[in-house]
Structure formats: C-alpha cells, structure tokens
Amino acid sequence: MRLLLFFLIFIFIHDSIFGQTENPKLKITPLTGDFYIYTTYSIYEGSPVPANGMYLVTNEGVVVFDTPWDTTQFQPLLDSIKLKHHADVKICIATHWHSDRTEGLEYYKQKGIKTYTTSLTDEWSKKNNKKRAEYLMTKDTVFNIGPYSFETYYPGEGHTTDNIIVWFKDEKILYGGCLIKGDDAENLGYLGDANKTAYYATLKNVQKKCRHPKYIIVSHSDWDNNRSLNHSIKLAKALKKETEQ
C-alpha cells in the first residue's frame, strides 16, 4: 500500500513539474544582464502561437514591454517578476494596437502600473475596441529609468500603421515587436492591417536608427540570433515589388 501511494505521488509530481515544462503558459528566459524575455501563448488558426515580450529590472522598478497575449497570464507575470527579482512592475509600454501587445493594459493600469502607448496607437485601439493605455506619447520618447536609457521610435507604417520599436543604444538591444519577423519566417505574417508598400522603407529606417544590434527581439519567432532584421528587409522588399506589379 505504501509503495503504491509513493508511486502515485511520484507520478503526480512528475506530471506537474515536467508537464508544465513541456507546455508552459508563461516562460521567462534571461537575455543579458537585467533584461529578460517572457513568452505567453494563444491559439491562432487552430495552433498555439508564442508571443514574446521583454522586461527590464532596474533599481527603480521593472519596465515591461508589451503585455501577455494570454489573458490568464497577466497576474502570473507580475507574480513571477516579484518572486524572481523582489521588485514590482512600474511601467508597461505597448508597441502597437493588436491584442498580442495591448490586451493587458487595462489590467495593469488597475494595478497602479503606468501604461504607455503612442497617441496613434491609442487612436487605433479606440477604433478597434482594444485595451488602451493611461499615458500617451505624442513623439519619439526617451525614458531614463535607474541606470538605463532607451528610446521609443516610430519608423513608419509596416505591420500596422502605428508600430513602434524600442532601442537600447548602449546595450545594443533592439526590441522590434511584430514589425520584425524571425530569420526562419517565410513571409511577413499577418498583413491585414499592414502597409505593404511602406514596409520596406520602414524597416530600412529601423536599420539606420539601430546600428549593429547585438540582440533583436521579435514577437512570434525565436530571438536567439540577430539576423531577423536583414531577413525581414528582404521579405519586405519582395512584398513591395509584388504589390507594385
């Protein structure tokens, strides 16, 4: 009886730990220094799709870039950050109006977190009944938080009319969001809200702004190399040519 009970407990613990590892709802991966990538998932066209965001730990609190796509993971992300770093999230910045970037804005606002989007993103969020931020950026904005400085940059229309990127010049980290696709992408993904002819010029603007990035974080692909921007530029060039034919 004791042996059977021990076996059942072992199976339960094994399934709980290793099952969660194989199919996590929230995954946090160190990037470099105080930078971390968090990944949540949602079902798109019948399959689970990862959505990467990023957060930065500073002595003045944590900054989160974009919100979880999975609505069940808004609070677990905050709890995980608190447990891991003994720090609270103070700021959340979303990079365009789609739900995989903005879905948690109202929840985080209710938690006392300062939420930001551009005014253009707010216009599109309002039009499409998406979650909206408390604070609006009317132009490219430099944030200085603790020892870190970063800039939000609007390079032009691409994946959406309002997409921005975040550039950490000193650390050479380019947070590209959904504007940049992974180097394994066969195309530029969902283009229902895209500017197909401007996409190429927009990515070239990113390339000019963000010289020699060491890390390029993309939303829905692996981010373990820095080839994604050049690859996306090639895809956008082909798309522009195809659109203009």
Q: Which string of DSSP letters, residue by residue, matches 197-229?
A: TTHHHHHHHHHHHS-S-SEEEESSS--SSS-HH
Give the start-to-end residue ranges of the domains of the chain.
27-244
DSSP state of 182: -
Pair of tokens at residue 185: 């992408």
Classify 222 as helix, strand or coil. Answer: coil
225 or 161, which is more confident?
A: 161
| Contact criterion met (CB below 8 Å) for 130 and 102 | yes
Classify 39 as helix, strand or coil. Answer: strand
Q: Which of 131, 180, 130 is nearest to 155 (CA)?
A: 180
Write the pLDDT tens digit of every residue in 192-210: 999 999 999 999 999 999 9
Confidence of residue 1 (pLDDT cuts 50, 70, 90): very low
Share of the chain above pLDDT 90, in %: 83
Per CATH, domain 27-244 is 3.40.50.620: no
- Name residues whose C-beta falls within 8 Å of residue 76's C-beta, 6 or more positions apart in sequence: 25, 26
Q: How far apart are CA 70 and CA 178, in angstroms?
A: 16
User: For strand 135-137 and strand 165-168, is the pairing parallel, antiparallel, or unpaired?
Assistant: unpaired
Residue 54 φ/ψ, nearest 5 degrees = -140, 155
pLDDT at 24: 83
| Contact criterion met (CB below 8 Å) for 239 and 199 | yes
Q: Which of 71, 57, 58, 60 is nearest to 28 (CA)?
A: 57
Work out the angle between the directed axes of helices 228-244 and 199-209 (0-180°, nearest 10): 150
Q: How far apart are CA 168 and CA 152, in angstroms?
A: 9
Confidence of residue 93 (pLDDT cuts 50, 70, 90): very high
pLDDT at 22: 53
Q: Specify which residues 141 forms β-bridges with.
A: 152
| Contact criterion met (CB below 8 Å) for 229 and 180 | yes
| Exposure on the CB side of residue 28, measured as CA atoms within 13 A | 17
